[in-house]
């Protein structure tokens, strides 16, 4: 019976590995999707800044042309002052000149603000581009590794299932029935060592006679509290 418990310990490790492999089929795709999303997000940020910079430069050129046109209008109106003959004409021309000057001041303010924006965007875009390139390089490398893991999951599961079969056929059906029942109800750990006169899983204290039965190893002993199979390892204190 002790040998059965030792084999169950090996089976327990295999079942844990199988569980991890099955879970990896769920979380690996999520991890890969997150990596792809990060690449897309950093690339989109870079493209958005790039577009904003392009649009701002075009607007800057438009403002410069508008400003140049207004300045030409102002010069023309100022030249007309030399030919003014009446106060009425003078007042009307002064009014036009004031309007043009106001428009020029507004355009100049807009242009200065836009030049500052363009200069900032020219600095920012380098940072966004670097982050996008780094994310793409890093995540592409990680995606390759994760894809390799995904591709190998099936074969690894098959290997572990073969190892499991090789062990289960050597364990009595009654013992396997107890193992499977506990594994289903408790999950994970089924066979646990005695630790300091207690169950190694739930830490429920064990009476001396029970410890002696476990040490003999001639039958399957389960914890009265959690139902797990108990095994004695040499070197464990009573």
Q: Are 76 and 166 in contact (CB under 8 A)?
A: no
**Calpha distance 30→203 (Å, rounded):** 37
CA atoms within 13 A on the CB side of 98: 6
Residue 187 clears pLDDT 80, i.e. is over it: no
CA 22, 27, 28, 33 dihedral sign is: positive
Q: Are 139 and 24 in contact (CB under 8 A)?
A: no
What is the structure's pLDDT at 236? 57
8 pLDDT above the threshold of 90: yes
Residue 159's φ and ψ, nearest 5 degrees, are -65, -45
Alpha helices by DSSP H, listed for the chain, are 2-80, 87-168, 173-186, 208-216
The pTM of the whole model exceeds 0.75: no
pLDDT of 172 above 70 = yes
Over the chain, what is the mean pLDDT?
93
Question: Which residue ranges form the domains of the chain, and what is each CATH number?
Answer: 16-168 (1.10.287.1490), 173-231 (no CATH)
pLDDT of residue 106: 96
């Amino acid at each position: 019976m002790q040998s059965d418990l030792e084999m169950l310990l090996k089976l327990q490790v295999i079942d844990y590995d199988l569980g991890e492999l099955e879970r990896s089929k769920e979380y690996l795709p999520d991890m890969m999707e997150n990596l792809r999303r990060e690449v897309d997000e950093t690339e989109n940020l870079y493209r958005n800044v790039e577009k904003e910079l392009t649009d701002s430069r075009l607007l800057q050129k438009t403002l410069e042309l508008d400003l140049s046109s207004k300045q030409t209008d102002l010069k023309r109106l100022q030249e007309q002052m030399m030919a003014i003959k009446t106060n009425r004409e003078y007042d009307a021309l002064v009014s036009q000149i004031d309007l043009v000057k106001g428009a020029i001041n507004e355009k100049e303010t807009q242009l200065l603000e836009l030049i500052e924006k363009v200069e900032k965007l020219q600095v920012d875009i380098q940072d966004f581009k670097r982050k996008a390139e780094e994310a793409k390089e890093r995540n592409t490398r990680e995606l390759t590794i994760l894809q390799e893991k995904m591709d190998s999951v099936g074969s690894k599961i098959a290997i572990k299932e073969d190892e499991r079969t090789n062990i289960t056929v050597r364990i009595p059906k009654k013992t396997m029935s107890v193992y499977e029942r506990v594994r289903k109800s408790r999950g994970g750990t089924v066979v646990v060592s005695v630790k300091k006169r207690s169950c190694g899983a739930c830490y429920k204290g064990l009476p001396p006679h029970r410890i002696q039965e476990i040490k003999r190893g001639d039958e399957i002993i389960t914890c009265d509290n959690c139902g797990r199979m108990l095994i004695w390892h040499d070197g464990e204190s009573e």
